[in-house]
């Protein structure tokens, strides 16, 4: 999963009833003072907390018509557009245009307030998301390096901000899928190590480092970080897959023992998200199995269609393809090896059918 998605799962769960009451009060205030931009901005903040970026963007459009020189309003609209882009990505829709709009807002905000390191941080997040969904490798790599540049600029303004190290780790991790992977993996690990040193009890940092180790082929180090993240009450789809039902069981225990209602609601949201992802993953696994079976179909059209779909699915199909490459059918073995090679090339991950991934030369996490 992406950076902001994981962060939003772990922020304090808002009281929807209170937010709705506040929005209603602000709506009444806007009726009385329609030319006051701060009212639109405040209502947009509540809409964004409520999970409605579209309404937030509409309010911020109104605020900027009244006050087109507000850096904070451009920054907030950029954030709302980024959240909208992230939501589209989770629905398997392209977020690229919305990422570009978010970046344009961050650029306007930066022109008006060049001392706000948070603006560059947010633009870096938007660029990482855009790069993750850019199909052309060279274009994606350029976007990732631009993202790193934003985090570097933010770092020069505030060297103690943990997010700059997390952001750079994400940018290096994304870029490691293409090109000089080993150096980029090590750079990603160096940055997340600083984040962990600054915030040793933040579970998302361990999840990030686990994902870097996992993609580099070091399952032992990934497992250690998944264990640490889970002990801190943090999990994602990759750790859930690693632990099977254990991740959900640990969260259930934490929910039952948690006396703080706000924290309990946050953990329940995470638990529900894991259940939703698990259902989706199960459906995908069934589809992958059916497509692999179709590789031996008598119909050339069905075999070709299955090959195309498996290549499109990409990394998620690799474990099943590796298993099929060691199966009994010579025809399926040949197709599976070719598709796995293509999928691994697209993702930049070193998978070989019938073999373990090459171990990285990295350090201990």
User: How many Å apart are CA 234 and CA 246, to the nearest integer?
Assistant: 12
Residue 323's pLDDT is 84
Residue 245's pLDDT is 61
Q: Which residues of 238-276 are buried (b: 16+ CB within 10 A; e: fewer)?
A: bbbebbeeebbebbeebbeebeeeeebbbbeebbebbee
| 3-state DSSP assignment of residue 158 | coil
- Token digits of residue 188: 């990603």
User: How many Å apart are CA 175 and CA 143, to the nearest integer?
Assistant: 9
- Token digits of residue 93: 């829709």
Residue 281's pLDDT is 63
Domain boundaries, the chain: 295-347
Helix H, strand E, coil C: the string for 51-86 is CCHHHHHHHHHHHHHHCCCCHHHHHHHHHHHHHHHH
| CA quadruple 247, 163, 123, 60: dihedral sign | positive
User: How many Å apart are CA 97 and CA 94, to the nearest integer?
Assistant: 8
User: How many Å apart are CA 107 and CA 126, to the nearest integer?
Assistant: 12
Burial of residue 227 (CB within 10 Å: 0-12, 13-18, 19+) is middle
Residue 315's pLDDT is 66
CB 356 within 8 A of CB 217: yes
Residue 190's pLDDT is 94
Helix H, strand E, coil C: the string for 148-161 is HHHHHHHHHHCCCC
Residue 12's pLDDT is 40
| CA quadruple 153, 87, 173, 243: dihedral sign | positive
Residue 117's pLDDT is 87
Quick one: how far is CA 280 from the chain centroid?
17
Residue 310's pLDDT is 82
Residue 43's pLDDT is 95
Quick one: how far is CA 165 from the chain centroid?
16
Residue 11's pLDDT is 41
Residue 44's pLDDT is 94
What residues contact 200, with CB distance under 8 A and at least 6 apart? Answer: none
Residue 241's pLDDT is 63
Note down pLDDT in tens along the chain; length 365 residues. Answer: 333 433 443 344 456 788 889 999 999 999 999 999 999 999 999 998 888 999 999 999 999 999 999 999 999 999 999 999 988 887 878 999 999 999 999 999 999 999 888 899 899 989 988 988 888 878 888 888 898 889 888 888 888 888 889 888 888 888 776 655 778 889 999 999 999 999 998 888 998 999 888 888 888 898 888 888 877 877 666 666 666 666 677 777 777 877 777 667 767 777 776 677 666 666 777 888 888 888 888 888 888 888 888 877 776 677 788 888 888 888 888 888 888 776 544 443 333 333 322 222 333 33
pTM above 0.85, yes or no: no
CB 305 within 8 A of CB 321: no
In angstroms, the first-to-last Cα distance of the chain is 21
């Amino acid at each position: 999963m992406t950076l902001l998605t994981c962060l939003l799962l772990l922020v304090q769960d808002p009281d929807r009833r209170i937010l709705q009451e506040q929005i209603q009060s602000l709506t009444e205030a806007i009726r009385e003072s329609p030319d006051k931009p701060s009212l639109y901005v405040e209502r947009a903040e509540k809409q964004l907390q409520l999970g409605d970026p579209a309404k937030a963007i509409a309010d911020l459009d109104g605020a900027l018509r009244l006050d087109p020189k507000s850096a904070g309003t451009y920054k907030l609209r950029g954030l709302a557009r980024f959240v909208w882009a992230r939501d589209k990505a989770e629905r398997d829709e392209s977020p690229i245009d919305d990422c570009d709009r978010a970046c344009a807002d961050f650029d306007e905000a930066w022109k008006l307030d060049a001392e706000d390191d948070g603006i560059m941080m947010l633009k870096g997040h938007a660029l990482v998301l855009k790069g993750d969904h850019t199909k052309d490798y060279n274009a994606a790599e350029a976007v990732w390096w631009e993202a790193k540049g934003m985090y570097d600029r933010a770092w020069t303004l505030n060297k103690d901000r943990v997010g700059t190290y997390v952001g750079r780790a994400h940018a290096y991790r994304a870029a490691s899928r293409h090109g000089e992977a080993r150096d980029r993996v090590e750079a990603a690990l160096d940055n997340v190590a600083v984040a962990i040193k600054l915030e040793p009890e933040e579970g998302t940092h361990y999840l990030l480092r686990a994902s870097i180790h996992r993609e580099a082929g070091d399952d032992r180090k990934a497992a250690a970080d998944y264990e640490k993240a889970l002990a801190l009450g943090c999990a994602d789809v990759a750790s859930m897959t690693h632990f099977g039902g254990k991740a959900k069981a640990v969260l259930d225990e934490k929910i039952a023992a948690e006396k703080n209602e706000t924290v309990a609601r946050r953990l329940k949201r995470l638990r529900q998200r894991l259940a939703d992802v698990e259902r989706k993953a199960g459906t995908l696994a069934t589809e992958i199995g059916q497509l692999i079976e179709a590789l031996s179909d008598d119909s050339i059209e069905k075999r070709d269609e299955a090959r195309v779909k498996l290549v499109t699915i990409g990394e998620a199909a690799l474990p099943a393809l590796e298993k099929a490459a060691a199966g009994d059918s010579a025809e399926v073995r040949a197709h599976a090896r070719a598709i796995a090679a293509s999928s691994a090339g697209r993702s930049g991950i070193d998978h070989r059918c019938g073999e373990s991934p090459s171990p990285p030369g990295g350090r201990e996490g």
